[in-house]
Amino acid sequence: MVTVMEHTGVSAGIREFWLDAKRKWKGITLGAGSYCRQAWLDAGSRNADVLIGRYAVIGANVRFIVGRAPDCRGVTAFPFEALALKHDAHESLVPCRNQVCIGNDAQIGDDAVLFGGVRIGDGAVVAPGAVVMENVPPYHVAAGNPATAVEARFDAKTIQKLLDICWWDWPQEEVGQARGFMGDADAFIAHFWREPPAAEETPWSHKARALYEQGIHIYYMRADFGSGDTAWEPLVFAFLTRFSVRDKVALFLEMPPSSVHAAACATLFGLLGQRGSDAPQVAVQEIEEPFPQAVFPYIGTFLMTKEEESLLGLQQAERCGVRVAYALDSAELLFPADGRHEPVKGGAHAAKRRIWDQRFAWERERILDYLLAQKTEAAMQLTASVAEALYAYNQLYVDDRIESYLRALQLLLPQVGQRAGEAGRVLFYDRFGYESRGLAQIYVRALADLADALCYIAPAEAEGRIQKLEEIVHAAGGQVLYLDLAPTVANYTALCRAVQAFAPAHSFLYTEPQDVTGVLTFMQMEGKSRRYQINLTDHAFWLGANAFDYSLEYRDYGAVISRDRRRVEETRILYQPYYPVVDYDVPFAGYPFARAAGDFIIFSGGFLYKTMDAAGTYYRLVGTLLARFPQVKFWYAGFGDDSGLRTLMERYPGRVFHTTERKDLYQILKNIDMYLSTCPQGGGLMTQYAALAGKPPYILDYNGFHHGFLLHEEELGIHFCDYDACLAELSRYIGDAAYRRQKDALLMSRARLIDADAFRANLQEIMAHGKSRYPLHFYDADETIARQEEIYFERFIQDDA
């Protein structure tokens, strides 16, 4: 990105030059009284900034190279990743210094080159052709390549007194009146210099001194509320991410009056609230006049923004010897650990992940823009869209930045106060609205018995397709509400009012990963109703880290992710195993082929994406069984990309069959010979249906994360992480009838599933006492999670391609 500033002339006002046509990313700020003949900003990042003070002179053909550097941490410095970013092929992914700061009354000679991270002090002069890579002190002259400060314009005392006077801050009329004295520094000082008054102590400075005396390093910044290109939000997020309450650091965030910046304040408090009790110290103070002098002796780092007022703080910081940094520099540079960069982490997809992480960062910026502009509905809709993409991406399990934006939305949206819940009243919120898929029917059956009053809320599009759920609710004297749940302000308000009218004591959140409307409503219910999240997609990203009091898990693996990756406290994670709902009266609808005597039917099913990996493992396994055993026919029921199945059909004509989902799943499983789970991702309910029908649910789970769906599962010998071992077991089961009877008998030798009574009893225990009768077992799942993420990322980039 290149921005040109030329022939500006002298102006009494500030002039701004932008990196983009939409004037979103500010590139250069030219202070009042300054002028430029011609300068080029070569920006390697949208965070790049050149901040020029007052009465500065920029010569011809001056070049600023900011936010751009070769990445020397790996084998090559070629920018493969940056070029892969379609949004902007020039976006640097390397930690860089992103600001050049030119002080007041400074002069930059023709053809000079200034690199990111340098500060040119007040009254300094850069000679023509100089290449500046280091700071130039006030009232010094720098020249050469690389440029060095070759001489001071005045002695140290004179320089200090000129800095005390700060004539450039005077009104324009007073500057004009003083021009007659400016030819002689001694005369100028004699006429205008006064001993600086002692700094006036304030509660703000008292607080800073108290922390300083405890050895706390204070980062100090004035929030640039109202700026179209804010630095405060990414800085606060970076600070909260880098540090914790255990670190001896604090952020002093000075802000203008909050009454005129409601959206920015809501976003700020959303960020601070999201970090919770583990957050580092952050002090926020409303101050009309920026940068009170008495604070600076206790500051460790002063943080610049793109706003001209930062130069006022810079003057104070330099007088007190305070470290100065730019708030939009990379976190590695803002908050250095050991003063060096670590090598970039490798891996087969590391580079592509960094590209996608950057793309998602841009999308978060768009959400922030909507929030700060108080375009709440646009923010809701974009949040839902980004969350859906993050669910498919599945490289993280909670997004603190987006969760903080939800907190901000909660403050900005119309306030619908919630009543305290009335005893015995239970809400079940079902964003899916499906009858035979998932866990809704299992929970609603139990709650129909446990609740004095039951309210079931489903999306409007579910009306007419969930008759069985309606029957259960109405039989218990409950009510069913169909609402439009798309992410709009009106829908959110309507849902809040529906919940307010019902006043539930217990509320169950059964929802999609991107459900902004439901999540925001449940956030509003905090403290008014005990909220339970049914963690259906336990292996994946979802919104709503602040929308529940308890997370109901159905297996240990999901509980581990909730604790270790979503940072949910163990006391809020409860085990609620489930069981399959079966209608035993549904007749078997038959085979999709003519079954002959001696046929051995292998059945499998679910969404077809669960069968896909780069090596085609699942289809290789099925193909090998078909090749070894001529009597085998393979039947798959489910939706999705069936290319793997079609390949098998061509190779084994008349022996491979694909149907859509059927309502007679249990009856299918009773009428086949073997069940084979999908691989590399299995299905929990399919596993349970197979076990209930008396078929050992075999799975090749080479990643090791599909387990915990059956009781005493470990004794069954059905779970394999090794391909050859799994193939050998399946071959024996198919080829040895006596062994097959033995395995089937072992499966049926004791209960492998809880039943409806046990499910209801445990749910009652959870609602009454916040405890489960079934213990969770937490374990180290890092390797398993890493393998899962590889699988999801491979599928994600395939879909993107």
Q: What is the pLDDT of residues 768-786, one digit of tens each?
A: 999 999 999 999 999 889 8
Average pLDDT over every residue of 562-576: 96
pLDDT tens, 744-762? 999 999 889 999 999 999 9
Q: How far apart are CA 506 and CA 761, in angstroms?
A: 16
Here the CATH number for the domain that contains residue 534 is 3.40.50.11820
pLDDT attached to residue 790: 86
Exposed/middle/buried for residue 512 (C-beta within 10 Å: 0-12, 13-18, 19+): buried
535 and 443 Cβ atoms separated by less than 8 Å: no
pLDDT band at 231 (very low <50, low <70, confident <90, very high): very high
pLDDT band at 84 (very low <50, low <70, confident <90, very high): low
Q: How many domains does the chain have?
A: 4
pLDDT attached to residue 392: 93
Average pLDDT over every residue of 478-504: 98
In a domain, 387, yes or no: no
In a domain, 160, yes or no: no
pLDDT attached to residue 438: 79
- 339-353, 515-529, 713-727: range with lowest mean pLDDT: 339-353
At residue 674, does pLDDT exceed 90?
Answer: yes
pLDDT band at 614 (very low <50, low <70, confident <90, very high): confident
At residue 623, does pLDDT exceed 70?
Answer: yes
Single-letter amino acid, residue 345: K
Average pLDDT, the chain: 92
Average pLDDT over every residue of 68-82: 71
pLDDT band at 211 (very low <50, low <70, confident <90, very high): very high
In a domain, 678, yes or no: yes
pLDDT attached to residue 347: 54
pLDDT attached to residue 139: 97
Average pLDDT over every residue of 338-362: 67
Annotate 467-530 with three-state secondary structure. HHHHHHHHHCCCEEEEECCCCCHHHHHHHHHHHHHHCEEEEEEECCCCCHHHHHHHHHCCCCCE
435 and 444 Cβ atoms separated by less than 8 Å: no
Phi, psi of 220 (to 5 degrees): -125, 130
Same-domain check for residues 571 and 609: no
pLDDT band at 174 (very low <50, low <70, confident <90, very high): very high
pLDDT band at 338 (very low <50, low <70, confident <90, very high): very low
Higher pLDDT, 94 or 410: 410
pLDDT band at 83 (very low <50, low <70, confident <90, very high): low
Q: How far apart are CA 126 and CA 90, in angstroms?
A: 28
In a domain, 364, yes or no: no
Same-domain check for residues 19 and 148: yes
Same-domain check for residues 60 and 133: yes
pLDDT attached to residue 260: 75
pLDDT tens, 690-708? 999 999 999 999 887 777 7
Average pLDDT over every residue of 102-111: 97
Return the C-alpha torsion angle 321, 322, 328, 331, nearest 10: 120
Same-domain check for residues 634 and 667: yes
pLDDT attached to residue 581: 86
Q: How far apart are CA 560 and CA 781, in angstroms?
A: 7
pLDDT attached to residue 10: 84
At residue 89, does pLDDT exceed 60?
Answer: no
Q: Which conformational region is residue 55 in: left (phi greater than 0), alpha (psi within -120 to 50 degrees), or beta? A: left
- 67-71, 145-149, 373-377: range with lowest mean pLDDT: 67-71
- Give residue 107's domain range: 2-153
Single-letter amino acid, residue 513: P
Phi, psi of 484 (to 5 degrees): -75, 120
Average pLDDT over every residue of 473-486: 98
Instruction: Quote the percentage of the chain above a pLDDT of 70.
Output: 96
Average pLDDT over every residue of 342-357: 66
226-230, 293-297, 351-355 — which one is most confidently predicted on average? 293-297
Same-domain check for residues 19 and 133: yes
Half-sphere exposure at residue 267, Cβ-oriented, CA atoms within 13 angstroms: 30
Token pair of 390 as six digits: 């993050």
**Residue of 568, 503, 504 lying closest to 535 (CA atoms):** 568
pLDDT band at 560 (very low <50, low <70, confident <90, very high): very high
Same-domain check for residues 441 and 563: yes
Phi, psi of 264 (to 5 degrees): -65, -40
Same-domain check for residues 552 and 610: no
In a domain, 341, yes or no: no
Phi, psi of 509 (to 5 degrees): -105, 110
Here the CATH number for the domain that contains residue 42 is 2.160.10.10
- Is the bond leading into 587 cis (omega within 30 degrees of zero)? no
Q: How far apart are CA 593 and CA 390, in angstroms?
A: 40
At residue 73, does pLDDT exceed 80?
Answer: no
pLDDT attached to residue 690: 95
Same-domain check for residues 143 and 250: no
Give CA angle at 46 (43, 50), nearest 5°.
55
Residues 6+ apart with CB under 8 A from 295: 202, 204, 205, 208, 220, 252
Same-domain check for residues 321 and 448: no
In a domain, 489, yes or no: yes
pLDDT band at 82 (very low <50, low <70, confident <90, very high): low
In a domain, 441, yes or no: yes
pLDDT attached to residue 93: 64
pLDDT band at 613 (very low <50, low <70, confident <90, very high): confident
CA quadruple 13, 18, 21, 23: dihedral positive or negative? negative
pLDDT band at 137 (very low <50, low <70, confident <90, very high): very high
426 and 508 Cβ atoms separated by less than 8 Å: yes
Same-domain check for residues 608 and 738: yes
> Last residue of some domain: 310, 334, 358?
334
Here the CATH number for the domain that contains residue 264 is 3.40.50.2000
Higher pLDDT, 456 or 354: 456
pLDDT attached to residue 682: 87
pLDDT band at 182 (very low <50, low <70, confident <90, very high): very high
Same-domain check for residues 570 and 609: no
Same-domain check for residues 617 and 519: no
pLDDT attached to residue 198: 86
In a domain, 542, yes or no: yes
pLDDT attached to residue 342: 43
